[in-house]
Amino acid sequence: MPLPKQMIAIEIENGVLKPVQRAIPTPSANQVLIKVAAAGVNRPDVMQRKGLYPAPSGASDIPGLEVAGTIVALGDNISQLHEGDRVCALVSGGGYAEYCLASTALCLPIQENLSFNEAAALPETFFTVWSNVFDRAHLQPGETLLVHGGSSGIGTTAIQLAKAFNAKVIVTAGSNEKCEFCLQLGADGAINYKEQDFVEETMRFTDNKGVDVILDMIGGDYFPRNLKCMTDDARLVQIAIQNGPKAEINLLPVMLKRLTLTGSTLRARDDAFKAAIAGRLIEKVWPLLASGQIKPVIHSTFALIDAALAHQLMESSQHIGKIILTV
């Protein structure tokens, strides 16, 4: 059946999301065209809408970093994927649309026990958590991970993956309801940062030892407080800066405790880097999804044309887990 020539996509115009008609893109030699069934909503999409996180050079100006759907067209160099395959994919843009291009190396098979909505919740958070917690911070069995924003899409993924690989997890979250959800998901400790001092509570939980790894998306004034939570040879990974990019710190504990301070962003990395993560996810994590040991947490779904409402919910921080657009 021939493809239509036009599709509905969500454009950013003066900070506002609006549905428009766009031409359906054509895959290059190493790309596939996915008929999108669902797309994930992430904070970088909100930042892009506000003009704070422009798309990388060569990426689509349409927001959206992860999709799930069916392959409907293939580039000339592709033999390992086929039309009709159900895949989810990490993309550098273009996800808020009826059709989206994806690099073949960043397409992952959808497990039979997962819906398109669930599969669309996987790529951005699972790539991010694996790359930062396991590849950069080298979280080991028996170590303790502190996750700020434990009820977010990143947080709920980090809890499940860390527990699956036999680490302990402490989270911070902004309400007792969110803390309780994180505990039910498997966290060993949960701190309501609006009512408790996360430094004091983290040290109490660890018998004043501190944690081995911190995954932080807050930044700003959290940075010097994070250092107080860290044990000898601990690692801090910064993946976002919701409280701003600047902080004043005391370097002495960094030296005395031999701390590693690092961070990353994923979107601008090349396909070869992301493909290596994809390979590790298929080997280490996809079997856990197939068995049901871990599962994406979805809070709400919105129709594609209601993407603006999805962003309102994201900015309210009232959600637990992922927000999904359905096509």
Looking at the fold, whether 159 and 108 belong to one and the same domain comes out as no
Helices (H) and strands (E) in the chain, counts: 11, 15
Cβ atoms of 94 and 59 within 8 Å: the answer is: yes
Q: What is the mean pLDDT of residues 61-73?
A: 98
Cβ atoms of 100 and 36 within 8 Å: the answer is: yes
Looking at the fold, whether 131 and 215 belong to one and the same domain comes out as yes
Q: What is the mean pLDDT of residues 165-169?
A: 98
Q: Is a pLDDT exceeding 90 seen at residue 158?
A: yes
Looking at the fold, whether 68 and 177 belong to one and the same domain comes out as no
Residue 139's φ and ψ, nearest 5 degrees, are -60, 130
Looking at the fold, whether 50 and 141 belong to one and the same domain comes out as no
The pLDDT mean for the chain works out to 97
Cβ atoms of 67 and 91 within 8 Å: the answer is: yes
pLDDT (0 to 100) of residue 188: 98
- 3-class DSSP state of 209: coil
| pLDDT tens by residue, 69-97 | 999 999 999 989 999 999 999 999 999 99
Q: How far apart are CA 293 and CA 287, in angstroms?
A: 9
What is the DSSP code string of 76-140? TT--S--TT-EEEEE-SS--SBSEEEEEGGGEEEPPTT--HHHHHTSHHHHHHHIIIIIIIS---
Looking at the fold, whether 59 and 77 belong to one and the same domain comes out as yes
Looking at the fold, whether 85 and 108 belong to one and the same domain comes out as yes
Give the number of domains in the chain.
2
Q: How far apart are CA 320 and CA 159, in angstroms?
A: 13
| pLDDT tens by residue, 294-314 | 999 999 999 999 999 999 999
The verdict on residue 106 lying in a domain is yes
Q: Is a pLDDT exceeding 90 seen at residue 201?
A: yes
Q: Is a pLDDT exceeding 90 seen at residue 109?
A: yes
Q: Is a pLDDT exceeding 80 seen at residue 1?
A: no
Q: How far apart are the first and last CA of the chain?
A: 19
Listed residues 212, 231, 263: the one ending a domain: 263
Looking at the fold, whether 107 and 182 belong to one and the same domain comes out as no
What tokens does 322 get?
């992922």
Q: How far apart are CA 239 and CA 278, in angstroms?
A: 19
Looking at the fold, whether 62 and 136 belong to one and the same domain comes out as no
pLDDT (0 to 100) of residue 2: 85
Listed residues 215, 238, 263: the one ending a domain: 263
Pick left, alpha or beta for residue 58 (phi over 0 → left; psi -120 to 50 → alpha; otherwise beta): left
Looking at the fold, whether 88 and 38 belong to one and the same domain comes out as yes
Domain around 231: 126-263
Q: CATH number, domain at 292?
A: 3.90.180.10
Q: How far apart are CA 277 and CA 15, in angstroms?
A: 32
Other Cβ atoms less than 10 A from the Cβ of 75: the count is: 17
- Per-residue pLDDT band for 166 (boundaries 50, 70, 90) equals very high
Question: Which range, of 20-24, 51-55, 126-130, 148-152, averages the lowest pLDDT?
Answer: 51-55
The verdict on residue 1 lying in a domain is no
pLDDT (0 to 100) of residue 72: 98
Q: Is a pLDDT exceeding 90 seen at residue 268?
A: no
